[in-house]
Chain A
Amino acid sequence: MTPILELSGIDKQFAGVNALRDVQLRLFPGEIHALMGQNGAGKSTLIKVLTGVLESSRGDMRLAGEAIRPRSPLDAQKLGISTVYQEVNLCPNLSVAENVFAGRYPRCGALQGFRIDWAEVHRRARELLARIGLEIDVTQLLGSCSVAVQQLVAIARALGVESKVLILDEPTSSLDDDEVQKLFAVLRRLRGEGMAILFITHFLNQVYAVSDRITVLRNGQWVGEWPAAELGPQALISAMLGREFAATAGAAAPMAAADAHTPALLQTTGLGQTGHLHPIDLNVRAGEVLGLAGLLGAGRTELARLLFGLEAPDSGTLSIDGKNVRLANPADAVEHGLALCPEERKTDGIVGELSVRENIALALQARQGVRRFMSHAEQTALAEKFVKSLGIKCTNVEMPIGLLSGGNQQKAMIARWLATDPRLLILDEPTRGIDVAAKQEIMDEILRLAQAGMAVLFISSEMSEVVRVSNRIAVLRDRRKVGELPGGSSEAAVYELIAAEHEHA
């Protein structure tokens, strides 16, 4: 059988950086194909090339044997490639039927070309929805439907334009288990009709539940393509990460673990948020580094946001020093001595046009309040202290932080939170985009802080770091906690714990 979609030799460069290098992909009609890879592996870039958002620098794309080069999402759609995005890109103020046909209404009447044949619109919408097993009132507003239904409507829309290829970009992130099963039923049905489906996800069990073949990308390069049945979870993980786990035990022995009798500084009991995190029990003690390990999408950032008051939990309790607290906003959390260095520094972290000095001083100043103002000199001294201790490369602390490189921005963010002298510091991917030497510096700093009595919650996708620096490791997978391991466990042990859950599932 010939593939319906074939990519070969795809290159894509951004300002000299290779986002994709010699990537290939084959999609056959009547299959569900999973595209996997860690953050930064190039999945989204490849999808953007496929859907016409970006144009590849080099390479071939063939649809049904014919060379194509989509220049815009509309172009790709017209060629027969439809995408359903994670953030459903439809209009919530229009009805279901209208969304299925937006821009392509069946017309009628004397004013040929203007008047919409609503009866036809509704009839055909219902037909399309029936094809995927959805029977709902097509006249209701899309906004009043659940995300799961909205996604199915997006799929119906793709059917309506007679797509040959359907791309689903992280479709299950906002769905609960039942809805996921319903989606999969739809996908299987479509597969039976001959549709080629490309399915991007990071949920391991879902990959195995529904895909026929798996393609793995890593660091912008194609690693391999396997039938799902032939690639076990451990092999998949090592393909995504790029190395076999050493069977040998992990690196340096952990720093002196906090006394087991030390009362928990922060404790959660059944803390969860519907749709984002299953109820979780966790505790962190002063002077210890708790590592939060898991693959992309395991729920680590969601947990961090709950702990810091950025999101409100739907269930469970959070207690600090033994007393239940309700954190309505980050200011509350800061008052209790918490600090969060967020993952997305661009949107949640840096205030671009302000100087390095102001950015570093911001959180401390926010805690001190409006009146107790740090003078210019004090702010400068503070900023320069951290510039030195963390090795932030900038001409001086007055330059706008937006001009710093990503790595240096990250260091400034860490500096901001260290300046507040917190009792519990949550670091979400603090070493992303930082050079090796700097990573080491930060790791050492974390250990120093813990020794001085600070509690640290350390989230990182670099398992080696987590393993090396944590006193304990909590392992998350698919938004629930699957277990805890003592510090000094090997990476292999962690991955086994992650993979094991799947096999028992």
Chain B
Amino acid sequence: MLKHFSMLMKHRLAWPVITLLLLLAVNAAFNDGFLHIEWRGGHLYGSLIDILNRAAPLMLVSLGMTLVIATRGIDISVGAVVAIAAALAAWMIGGALVVVDGVATHVTRFPMPLALIAAVAVAALCGLWNGMLVARVGMQPIIATLILMVAGRGIAQLITNGQIITIYYGPYFFLGSGYLLGLPFSLFIVAAVFVALYLAITRSALGLFIQSVGINPEASRVAGVKARAIIVGVYAFCGACAGVAGLLISSNVKSADGNNAGQLIELDAILAVTLGGTLLTGGKFSLVGSMIGALIIQTLTYAIYSLGVPPEINLVVKAVVVFAVMLMQSAEFRDSIRALVQKPARGEVRA
């Protein structure tokens, strides 16, 4: 029994899962009915369902971010891309309410499917842009994605003309607030992306190549791996994920705000990825871990709100958690802690 337990603990998802369970327990302790799920209004209803729904956009962005980090990169422009996608979709659908024959209906500027495709395509293009800067021009990822982070919000604002576009088109809301088979529709989207990605990673050589490029880019190159193409593709995918997340967010709040949509989602995504066990230095990654990491963050946010802690502290807590995780992952820090804790044996010369 004990042996099974220690083996289980060694699994790299052990800590993320435990953290999540802990947070759920904390929430349950302070909130009566936290774990309560009932069927109401034709679908499942409860705090847990709420958390899942709200975590969906973050889960998507984290998936994309996982691959980018695995190649030793980073993408801090995802927030801006979320805003761009949301803005584009909202604009294409149009924010006008039209009364026809006494019935308030909505006429879209472009068919909704087109708007959705366009938004994700543009988001993917943004990712492609980042990838080209990193792989072909040779910029450092932080700087390359900083540029889009600066300009991206402006582009989003351009699309919305500086306004917040309110969306009235019913079918659009289904994305972020609708329910299918009792569960939030957004989960299905996340599941679909996750499954597709998982299959791509495990059924094709992508997973192998991405890890290889992240661990030893030079050796991968010598082995004939097309490292550049992999890197460009990974950033493009991250952009696309941010695009879908943008659709979910704007669908949920029924509006597109070029300024605030996706605000700070980049830090949440980086945090989710690192909580899930993927190292910032690249290499092996865990998609499931990132998903759990996103859930942890959402549950943490929920816990903070329900405890009545002011929302500002949310930011502080998150940042502290980032620090803690960073420190744990930093080899130097672990060494210095170890040195502090273990005193050198007598007579041994300290290096």
Q: How far is the CA of A416 from the CA of B223 in the complex (A)?
A: 9
Within 8 A of A (CB), among B83-114: none
| Beta-carbon contact of B205 and A331 below 8 Å | no
Within 8 A of A (CB), among B211-226: 211-212, 215-216, 218-226
| Beta-carbon contact of B204 and A334 below 8 Å | no
A373 with B225, Cβ < 8 A, contacts A349-B219, A351-B215 known: no
Secondary structure at chain B's binding surface: helix, strand, loop or mixed? helix
Closest to A368 in B: B205
| Beta-carbon contact of B208 and A365 below 8 Å | yes
Chain B residues contacting A310 (CB-CB under 8 Å) are 221-222
Q: How far is the CA of A366 from the CA of B211 in the complex (A)?
A: 13
A354 with B211, Cβ < 8 A, contacts A371-B204, A373-B205 known: yes
Contact of A334 among B211, B224, B283 (CB under 8 A): B224
A367 with B218, Cβ < 8 A, contacts A351-B212, A362-B208, A373-B203 known: no
| Beta-carbon contact of A367 and B219 below 8 Å | no
A370 with B205, Cβ < 8 A, contacts A331-B225, A331-B226 known: yes
Within 8 A of B (CB), among A133-185: none
| Beta-carbon contact of B226 and A354 below 8 Å | no
B153 within 8 A of A: no
Q: How far is the CA of A459 from the CA of B188 in the complex (A)?
A: 57
| Beta-carbon contact of B209 and A348 below 8 Å | no
Contact of A362 among B206, B218, B223, B284 (CB under 8 A): B223
Chain A residues contacting B225 (CB-CB under 8 Å) are 331, 362, 366
A351 with B204, Cβ < 8 A, contacts A331-B226, A362-B225 known: no
Q: How far is the CA of A363 from the CA of B208 in the complex (A)?
A: 11
| Beta-carbon contact of B218 and A366 below 8 Å | no
Q: How far is the CA of A230 from the CA of B216 in the complex (A)?
A: 48
Contact of B212 among A362, A369, A372 (CB under 8 A): A362
Proximity string of chain A (390-427) to chain B, C-beta cutoff 8 Å, 1 when within and 0 when not = 00000000000000000000000000100000000000
| Beta-carbon contact of A353 and B215 below 8 Å | yes
| Beta-carbon contact of B219 and A347 below 8 Å | yes
Contact of B216 among A351, A365, A368 (CB under 8 A): A351
Q: Tally inter-chain residue pairs, CB-CB below 8 A.
A: 77
Chain A residues contacting B224 (CB-CB under 8 Å) are 330-331, 333-334, 363, 366-367
Chain A residues contacting B206 (CB-CB under 8 Å) are 370
A350 within 8 A of B: yes
Proximity string of chain A (313-333) to chain B, C-beta cutoff 8 Å, 1 when within and 0 when not = 000000000000000011101
A354 with B215, Cβ < 8 A, contacts A370-B206, A371-B204, A373-B203 known: yes
Chain B residues contacting A331 (CB-CB under 8 Å) are 224-226
Q: Separation in Å of the B224 CB from the closest CB of chain A?
A: 4
| Beta-carbon contact of B209 and A370 below 8 Å | yes
Chain B residues contacting A330 (CB-CB under 8 Å) are 221-224
Proximity string of chain A (329-357) to chain B, C-beta cutoff 8 Å, 1 when within and 0 when not = 11101100000101000011111111000
A358 within 8 A of B: yes
Q: How far is the CA of A370 from the CA of B204 in the complex (A)?
A: 6
Q: Separation in Å of the A383 CB from the closest CB of chain B?
A: 13
Q: How far is the CA of A347 from the CA of B222 in the complex (A)?
A: 10
| Beta-carbon contact of A348 and B218 below 8 Å | yes
Closest to B230 in A: A370
Task: Kindly state the interface size class of chain B when it binds its partner.
Answer: 20 to 34
Chain B residues contacting A362 (CB-CB under 8 Å) are 208, 212, 220, 223, 225
| Beta-carbon contact of A351 and B205 below 8 Å | no
Q: Separation in Å of the A417 CB from the closest CB of chain B?
A: 9
Q: How far is the CA of A329 from the CA of B217 in the complex (A)?
A: 13
Q: How far is the CA of A350 from the CA of B216 in the complex (A)?
A: 8
A348 with B203, Cβ < 8 A, contacts A353-B283, A354-B212, A366-B209 known: no
Chain A residues contacting B283 (CB-CB under 8 Å) are 353
Proximity string of chain A (426-444) to chain B, C-beta cutoff 8 Å, 1 when within and 0 when not = 0000000000000000000
Q: Separation in Å of the B319 CB from the closest CB of chain A?
A: 29
Chain B residues contacting A347 (CB-CB under 8 Å) are 216, 218-219
Q: How far is the CA of A361 from the CA of B226 in the complex (A)?
A: 15
Chain A residues contacting B203 (CB-CB under 8 Å) are 373
Q: How far is the CA of A351 from the CA of B220 in the complex (A)?
A: 8
A350 with B209, Cβ < 8 A, contacts A330-B224, A334-B224 known: no
Within 8 A of B (CB), among A263-314: 308, 310
Closest to B221 in A: A330
| Beta-carbon contact of B208 and A358 below 8 Å | yes
Q: How far is the CA of A350 from the CA of B220 in the complex (A)?
A: 9
| Beta-carbon contact of B205 and A365 below 8 Å | yes
Proximity string of chain B (212-254) to chain A, C-beta cutoff 8 Å, 1 when within and 0 when not = 1001101111111110000000000000000000000000000
A352 with B215, Cβ < 8 A, contacts A368-B205, A370-B206, A373-B204 known: yes
Closest to A349 in B: B219
Chain A residues contacting B212 (CB-CB under 8 Å) are 351, 354, 358, 362
Q: Separation in Å of the A382 CB from the closest CB of chain B?
A: 13
Chain A residues contacting B216 (CB-CB under 8 Å) are 347, 350-352
Closest to A334 in B: B224
Q: How far is the CA of A330 from the CA of B223 in the complex (A)?
A: 7
Q: How far is the CA of A330 from the CA of B205 in the complex (A)?
A: 18
Chain B residues contacting A308 (CB-CB under 8 Å) are 222
Q: How far is the CA of A351 from the CA of B225 in the complex (A)?
A: 12
Proximity string of chain A (106-117) to chain B, C-beta cutoff 8 Å, 1 when within and 0 when not = 000000000000
Q: How far is the CA of A367 from the CA of B222 in the complex (A)?
A: 12
A369 with B215, Cβ < 8 A, contacts A331-B226, A334-B224 known: no
Q: How far is the CA of A340 from the CA of B221 in the complex (A)?
A: 12
Q: Separation in Å of the B39 CB from the closest CB of chain A?
A: 41
Q: How far is the CA of A361 from the CA of B209 in the complex (A)?
A: 11
Most chain A CB within 10 A, of B205, B221, B226, B284, is at B205
| Beta-carbon contact of A349 and B205 below 8 Å | no
Q: Separation in Å of the A197 CB from the closest CB of chain B?
A: 32
When A and B form their complex, which 8 residue pairs have the shortest distance between CB atoms, in order from nearest? A366-B224, A334-B224, A373-B204, A363-B223, A366-B225, A331-B224, A351-B216, A362-B223
24 A-B pairs with C-beta separation under 8 A: A330-B221, A330-B224, A331-B224, A331-B225, A331-B226, A334-B224, A340-B222, A342-B222, A348-B218, A350-B219, A351-B215, A354-B212, A354-B215, A358-B212, A361-B208, A362-B208, A362-B220, A362-B223, A363-B224, A366-B220, A366-B224, A371-B205, A373-B204, A416-B223
A interface with B by C-beta (< 8 Å): 308, 310, 329-331, 333-334, 340, 342, 347-354, 358, 361-363, 365-374, 416
Besides A351-B220, A354-B208, A354-B212, 17 more A-B contacts (Cβ < 8 Å) are A308-B222, A310-B221, A329-B221, A330-B224, A347-B218, A347-B219, A348-B222, A351-B211, A351-B215, A351-B219, A366-B205, A366-B209, A366-B220, A367-B224, A368-B205, A371-B204, A374-B205
